[in-house]
């Protein structure tokens, strides 16, 4: 791998860093136009305020709170918020600004260096890729755990591509998996792919990639069980998510003059439709036909959101996947980012539906993989980069014309 920046003239480096700086400043100004007060507890963003990892003494006893994976900030996003508040002075009226800008900066800077790592010699394509990421607006998403997770995933791929000591990308991958509970499956699956990929490349002790990732996941999770008594087995998030989504999805499709209120619909679902199925598992067993109806509706809402995230860049992505056998240098980045996307899309589709913010975290990695793979396919597809430029510019224009691209 060629080290980024070594083959670039000085003016190219200045141009790139100027674009990064402009993106950071513009994004920060947009964040500052919003409220600096963290939203109320019913909103997922509230984890930024509630997390407190300081060891303190109250009532004659030492008190230490450790994040819970099942909460909105997961483990690592909450730890970062807690450490940020210890290091940087904040106030209740500015805390939301602080952490959103911190998460946004991590997202954009890691995306910038991932592009420089995977596409070391083509300035124009790196700028194109970065503008796709920056104009998406996804660095402004709430809750900030979504934005933090994107940065951690980028750092994992940078570490693998630059051949950092495996302990470093393993730590970033574990941190990504614990940024939100929904991402743990993605991290575990990606650790196995990483193991298999390096084994196929003939690298020694490739099994340590997965073992180190699992070890870090265990180490980061352990205090949650020991200190707070968290029990993942007692959690039933799937049932809560399914019934809430079922209510919201079908409530407005009733054949009556006045649709039921949310409370009326919730009662009807629990006491009439699924009265014998208090859990999501019971619904699958006892009401499979109703569940298949739900899957159809969920797909109709999920598929358009995939298109909204990747937009016209889906075209070169599909071409890269169709030519995957010809791709070598960027195959792991392409397959790895795609695996993460699949591990996010499928559970969301099966239980609720895919929201834009769920899949947006994969945009930087998958955009980088698409552009880098398209460069690698040039010997077989002479006009490949022309297509990438057309699709990239069309995507940027689409995003610039969207007033609120980061909303679900």
pLDDT in tens, 149-176: 999 999 999 999 999 999 999 999 999 9
Cα of 385 vs its chain's centroid, Å: 27
Is residue 268 domain-resident? no
The pair of three-digit structure tokens given for residue 294, joined into one six-digit string:
């739900």
In the prediction, which pLDDT does 88 show? 94
Tell me the H-state helices in 54-94: 76-87
Tell me the DSSP string of 351-390. HS---HHHHHTTHHHHHHHHHHHHHHTTTT-TTHHHHHHH
Check pLDDT > 80 for residue 37: yes
Is residue 261 domain-resident? no
In the prediction, which pLDDT does 3 show? 46
For 266-311, the pLDDT digits (tens) are 777 877 888 888 888 888 899 899 889 889 888 888 999 999 999 9
Number of domains in the chain: 1
Dist. CA 381–CA 149, nearest whole Å: 34
Helix (H) or strand (E) holding 61: strand 61-63
Q: pTM for this structure?
A: 0.90
Average pLDDT over residues 169-192: 96
Q: 228 by DSSP, 3-state: which?
A: coil
Dist. CA 113–CA 109, nearest whole Å: 6
Confidence of residue 379 (pLDDT cuts 50, 70, 90): confident
Residue with the two structure tokens 């209740």: 92
In the prediction, which pLDDT does 313 show? 97
Is residue 86 domain-resident? yes
In the prediction, which pLDDT does 274 show? 86
Is residue 28 domain-resident? yes
In the prediction, which pLDDT does 251 show? 73
Is residue 322 domain-resident? yes
**Which residues, 6+ apart, have CB-to-CB distance to 83 below 8 Å?**
53
Residue 351: domain span? 10-236+279-401
Round to the nearest angstrom and report the end-to-end CA distance of the chain.
Answer: 37
In the prediction, which pLDDT does 344 show? 94
Average pLDDT over residues 108-120: 97
Is there a contact between 220 and 114 (Cβ–Cβ < 8 Å)? no
Dist. CA 85–CA 98, nearest whole Å: 9
Helix (H) or strand (E) holding 17: helix 10-33
Cα torsion 184, 187, 190, 191: sign: negative
In the prediction, which pLDDT does 4 show? 43
Helix (H) or strand (E) holding 139: none
Dist. CA 332–CA 198, nearest whole Å: 9
**Which residues, 6+ apart, have CB-to-CB distance to 196 below 8 Å?**
206
With b meaning 16 or more CB within 10 Å and e meaning fewer, what string describes 16-41? beebbeebbeebbeebeeeebebeee
Is residue 134 domain-resident? yes
Average pLDDT over residues 308-322: 95
Is there a contact between 70 and 181 (Cβ–Cβ < 8 Å)? yes
In the prediction, which pLDDT does 111 show? 98
CA gyration radius, the chain: 22
Is residue 254 domain-resident? no
Comparing 243-257, 275-289, 314-328, the range with the smallest average pLDDT is 243-257
Dist. CA 379–CA 373, nearest whole Å: 12
Q: To the nearest whole percent, how much of the chain has pLDDT over 90?
A: 62
Among 353, 78, 314, 75, which Cα is nearest to 187's?
75
Is residue 273 domain-resident? no
In the prediction, which pLDDT does 228 show? 62
Q: How many Cβ atoms sit within 10 Å of the Cβ of residue 5?
A: 14
């Amino acid at each position: 791998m060629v080290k980024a920046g070594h083959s670039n003239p000085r003016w190219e480096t200045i141009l790139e860093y100027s674009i990064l700086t402009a993106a950071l400043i513009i994004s920060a100004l947009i964040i500052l136009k919003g409220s600096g007060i963290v939203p109320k507890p019913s909103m997922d963003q509230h984890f930024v305020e509630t997390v407190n990892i300081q060891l303190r003494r109250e009532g004659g006893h030492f008190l230490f709170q450790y994040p819970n994976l099942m909460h909105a900030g997961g483990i690592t996003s909450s730890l970062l918020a807690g450490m940020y508040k210890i290091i940087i002075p904040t106030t209740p009226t500015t805390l939301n600004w602080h952490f959103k800008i911190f998460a946004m900066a991590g997202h954009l800077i890691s995306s910038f260096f991932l592009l420089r790592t995977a596409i070391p010699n083509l300035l124009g394509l790196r700028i194109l890729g970065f503008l796709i990421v920056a104009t998406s607006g996804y660095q402004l998403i709430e809750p900030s755990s979504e934005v933090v997770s994107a940065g951690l995933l980028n750092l994992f791929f940078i570490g693998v591509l630059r051949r950092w000591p495996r302990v470093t990308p393993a730590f970033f991958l574990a941190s990504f998996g614990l940024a939100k509970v929904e991402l743990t499956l993605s991290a575990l699956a990606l650790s196995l792919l990483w193991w298999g990929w390096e084994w196929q490349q003939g690298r020694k002790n490739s099994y340590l990639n997965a073992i180190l990732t699992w070890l870090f996941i265990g180490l980061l999770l352990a205090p949650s069980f020991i200190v707070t008594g968290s029990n993942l087995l007692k959690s039933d998030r799937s049932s809560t998510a399914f019934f809430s989504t079922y209510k919201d999805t079908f409530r407005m499709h009733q054949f009556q003059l006045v649709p039921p209120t949310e409370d009326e619909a919730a009662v009807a679902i629990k006491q009439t439709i699924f009265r014998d199925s208090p859990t999501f598992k019971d619904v699958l067993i006892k009401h499979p036909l109703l569940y298949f109806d739900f899957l159809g509706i969920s797909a109709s809402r999920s598929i358009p959101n995939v298109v909204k995230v990747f937009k016209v860049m889906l075209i070169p992505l599909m071409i890269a996947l169709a030519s995957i056998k010809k791709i070598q240098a960027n195959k792991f980045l392409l397959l790895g980012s795609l695996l993460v996307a699949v591990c996010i899309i499928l559970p969301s589709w099966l239980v609720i539906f895919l929201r834009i913010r769920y899949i947006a975290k994969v945009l930087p990695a998958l955009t980088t993989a698409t552009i880098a793979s398209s460069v690698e396919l040039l010997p077989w597809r002479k006009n490949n980069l022309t297509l990438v430029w057309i699709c990239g510019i069309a995507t940027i224009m689409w995003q610039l014309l969207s007033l609120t691209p980061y909303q679900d």
